[in-house]
Structure 1
Amino acid sequence: MQNTDAKLKKNSLSLMLKRYSSAVSDMESTILLPSLLRDVPSDWMDNCEAAQANDLYGNFMMLRTIRNTAESSLVLLEEQDVRRKEPSWSPEPDQDTDSEALFEFHLRGLCSVMNDLTKKTQSLTAKYLSMIGVAQ
């Protein structure tokens, strides 16, 4: 029973958000000159549709913005309505599915995204350190 509890705590959404926030804070304290990241191509955002995220500086700004949004939890109701009307990028359970199933589906997706963003933040920090010649 304790192994299950420990695994659940290890993968909890709040812990993932804390890890991501910590990784972004580390990135911000490490990258003292974000302007050095301008025009440095990003190797892990090739398939991103965001226009601002085509170089490491854009990624730096995007990762900070996502952290700030996640921490403040500010999503305008109008934005939520627009997002609901947009087609989803992945198959979503039918709206007839019970609320618990929908919650679990979205929670798994959010946890996956948070893990991915944390890894990208750590990768960007490591790339910056290698650019300025600091060994890790």
Structure 2
Amino acid sequence: MQTTEAKLKRSSLSLMLKRYSSAVSDMERTILLPSLLRDVPSDWMDCEAARANDLYGNYMMLRTIRNTVESSLVPLEEQDGRRKEPVRSPEPDSEELFQFHLRGLCSVMNDLTEKTRSLTEKYLNMIGVAQ
């Protein structure tokens, strides 16, 4: 039986971010001609606006997210917006709120990793390389 600590280590945010970064690096090494993804409809995206994108747009989005995750930079307009907000002391439920957002972030990172792997597999199928 696995201990709680072992489960936490296996599903840590740091590990999820590394998995995602690795999946995107693998995608970049595999997809030598990203332009082949243009005009290929994306069928695995959830929202309607994302479905309107082709696989090339999704490829670029996944790379951009990885670059943002690795650089840990928040876009300037978001930083400015945060400075304008009043500074509040931590509320009693800050830990609960943190846990909620952490679970959400972990879920998003797992989803993006799977989508990155799916895009890589679809590219390989398009060029006729079987896995």
TM-score under structure 2 length normalisation: 0.85
Answer yes or no: is the 8 Å Cα contact 1:16–1:114 preserved in 2: yes
Structure 2 residue runs without a partner (length 5+)? 83-89
Answer yes or no: is the 8 Å Cα contact 1:37–1:57 preserved in 2: yes
CA drift at 1:78: 3.3
Identity %: 82
Residue 23 of structure 1 corresponds to which residue in structure 2? Answer: 23
TM-score under structure 1 length normalisation: 0.82
CA drift at 1:76: 3.5
Show structure 1 runs of 4+ deviating over 4 A.
80-83
Residue 124 of structure 1 corresponds to which residue in structure 2? Answer: 119
Deviates more, 1:39-48 or 1:54-63: 39-48
Residue 9 of structure 1 corresponds to which residue in structure 2? Answer: 9
How many residue pairs were aligned?
124
Structure 1 residue runs without a partner (length 5+)? 84-94
Question: 3-state DSSP class of the match of 1:125?
Answer: helix
Answer yes or no: is the 8 Å Cα contact 1:42–1:54 preserved in 2: yes
Report whether the alignment pairs 1:73 with 2:65: no
* Structural RMSD (CA): 2.3
Report whether the alignment pairs 1:98 with 2:93: yes
Residue 115 of structure 1 corresponds to which residue in structure 2? Answer: 110
Cα distance 1:107–1:40, how it changes in 2: closer, same or farther (>3 A)?
Answer: same
Answer yes or no: is the 8 Å Cα contact 1:40–1:55 preserved in 2: yes
